[in-house]
Amino acid sequence: MGARTLRKRPPRSPKVTTPALLTVLTTTDSEEKAHSLAQGAVEARLAACVQISAPVTSVYRWQNAIETTEEWQLLFKTTAERYDELEAHLLAAHDYETPEIVAIPVVRGSARYLDWVFAETAPVISL
């Protein structure tokens, strides 16, 4: 019998998928502004729910200085399909020069809750 040779398989590229649901995080400097951002997003169906946590302390570098501020943190529950509109809404409504807007993929969750997020963020079609 001849010697067996093993061929190396080319490495598989990782599967990249776009998550269907996201949580989107931002912060603002007052409770009133947080409620306004949340209300606007839910009214426009850009988020099914927004949780406001407050206050949180943020430490960051801004314009070559270390800053420490009290902020209100908002966590938006939305779909990947609505992300661009939500981001545009936040950028237009936010008063920070460079607001934190980061999206975190939802990889798992209860089916009923995830279905609810999809239903509440579906665009309303006018006839």
54 compared with 91, residue with greater pLDDT:
91
Residue 88 predicted with pLDDT over 80 = yes
pLDDT at 127: 72
Residue 42: the pLDDT is 98
Phi/psi zone of residue 103: left (φ > 0), alpha (ψ -120 to 50 degrees), beta? beta
In contact, 72 and 27? CB cutoff 8 Å: yes
Q: Would you state the pLDDT for residue 111?
A: 92
Q: What mean pLDDT, rounded, does the chain reach?
A: 90
* pLDDT at position 126: 75
Task: Assess contact for 77 and 47: CB atoms under 8 A.
Answer: yes
Q: In the predicted model, is pLDDT for residue 12 greater than 80?
A: no
- Which residue ranges make up each domain of the chain? 27-121
pTM for this one?
0.82
What one-character DSSP code corresponds to residue 110? -
Task: State yes or no: pLDDT of 49 exceeds 90.
Answer: yes
1 falls in which pLDDT band (50, 70, 90)? low
Provide long-range contacts, Cβ within 8 A and 24+ apart, for 39-44. 40/89, 40/93, 41/76, 41/78, 41/86, 41/89, 41/90, 44/85, 44/89
User: What confidence score (pLDDT) does residue 124 get?
Assistant: 81
pLDDT computed for residue 32 by the predictor:
97
The CATH architecture of the domain made up of 27-121 is 2-Layer Sandwich (3.30)
